Amino acid sequence: MDELTSKAGDAEEFNEGNAQPQGVESCFIPAEADRDTAAKRIKLKRKIKRRQRLRALQRAVLMLLLLLIFYMIGYVFNDVAAYRGQSRIRNAKASEAQPSEMQRLYSNFATAEGTDLKIAIPGRVGSVIGVGFHQAERKEALAIIPIVPYLNRETTTSVRELSLNSNKPVFFVMDSRGRGTKPTSAMDVAMVPGSEILSPVDGVVTTVKIYSLYGKITDFHIEIQPDGYPNLRVAIIHIDNVQVKVGQRVERQTTVIGRLRPLPGINSQVNRYLPEVVDHVHVQINPSTVNVKGELGS
């Protein structure tokens, strides 16, 4: 009995010696569980990084697609404009092969106020998109009287639609510029880029000079004395690659006096009426007594 009691006491002492403090068992995390948690965290971080890389890649692809779309839109617009220009030039060459109503239209479409002076469109058949009449800056400028059908201060939409639906140049009088001059005392002839500029009258060149247009662009100013009217001068500006000189005889709708000059940065009124933005030559008729320095306006 004593021996059993002794053994029980020894066991109790052993258990007391190996007993853990209260609460230790509840906060203990086995090593295996710690490793599992770390592994899960690593996997989660990797998954997040993969998602971030995927989103960055998606954003980059989207940006490239948007840039490609914008490029294609610009390319299509340029291609359409080029096609229109080439189409008009092809039509011009085809029209030159034989006499036609179009050629007669180009060679005599207007007269000068109070005269029988025949005025031609200063471009080859098919190269002219529209002729917009407007108020000249100088009050001495004569009115240019169209002898063909034209729109008199119609809306820009009406002019644009007529231009789109006709193979002929559209003639129109633009809104007032508040200058107090005659509404057709100047005209802007909108043409296909790079077009040749032809003399609008028969006569002799009296002036070829360079001036600065609005202080932005170097431009040429040419004047022609029309046959039979020594007191008049037909003034033309916005010309490049001038082909004539003072004293030279020129023929209406035949003699090349230069090429259409690009007018970058110039917001011309005539372009508000046409379906495409193009450059133009400015023509007006002044008395010979007027000393024009080149600032005829555009």
Question: What CATH number is given to the structural domain containing 178?
Answer: 2.70.70
If one counts the domains in the chain, the total is 2
Residue 8 lies in a domain: no
Residue ending a domain, among 56, 82, 98, is 98
DSSP 8-state code for residue 35 = H
Residue ending a domain, among 80, 98, 116, is 98
Tell me if 237 sits within 8 A of 220, measured CB to CB. yes
Residue 80 lies in a domain: yes
For residue 197, give the nearest of 271, 279, 137 by alpha carbon.
279
Residue 287 has phi, psi (to 5 degrees) of: -65, 150
Mean pLDDT of 82-97: 46
Q: Which residues pair with 286 in a beta bridge?
A: 233
Neighbour count for residue 199 (Cβ, 10 Å): 25
User: Do 273 and 207 belong together in one domain?
Assistant: yes
Separation in Å, CA 197 to CA 150, 191, 204, 253: 22, 9, 16, 9
User: Do 231 and 119 belong together in one domain?
Assistant: yes
User: Do 154 and 50 belong together in one domain?
Assistant: no
Instruction: Enumerate residues 6+ apart whose C-beta is below 8 A from 262.
Output: 193, 240, 279
- Distance, in Å, from the CA atom of 61 to the CA atom of 67, rounded to the nearest integer, reads 10
User: Do 122 and 148 belong together in one domain?
Assistant: yes
What does the pLDDT look like over 122-175, one tens digit per residue? 999 999 999 999 999 989 999 999 999 999 999 999 999 999 999 899 999 999
User: Do 49 and 127 belong together in one domain?
Assistant: no
User: Which of the four pLDDT bands, split at 50, 70 and 90, describes residue 291?
Assistant: confident
Burial 205-224 (b: 16+ CB within 10 A, else e): bbbbeeeebeeebebbbbbb
User: Do 75 and 150 belong together in one domain?
Assistant: no
For the ranges 154-163, 178-187, 213-222, 288-297, the lowest mean pLDDT is seen at: 288-297
User: Do 235 and 202 belong together in one domain?
Assistant: yes
How many Cα atoms occupy the beta-carbon half-sphere of 246 within 13 Å?
5
Instruction: Enumerate residues 6+ apart whose C-beta is below 8 A from 230.
Output: 288
User: Do 243 and 128 belong together in one domain?
Assistant: yes
Residue 15 lies in a domain: no
User: Do 46 and 105 belong together in one domain?
Assistant: no
Residue 19 lies in a domain: no
User: Do 159 and 259 belong together in one domain?
Assistant: yes
Residue 190 lies in a domain: yes
What's the domain range around 261? Answer: 101-287
User: Do 160 and 183 belong together in one domain?
Assistant: yes
What does the pLDDT look like over 202-235, one tens digit per residue? 999 999 999 998 888 899 999 999 999 999 999 9
pTM over 0.85: no
> Residue 261: in which H helix or E strand, if any?
none
User: Do 51 and 181 belong together in one domain?
Assistant: no
Residue ending a domain, among 66, 98, 130, is 98
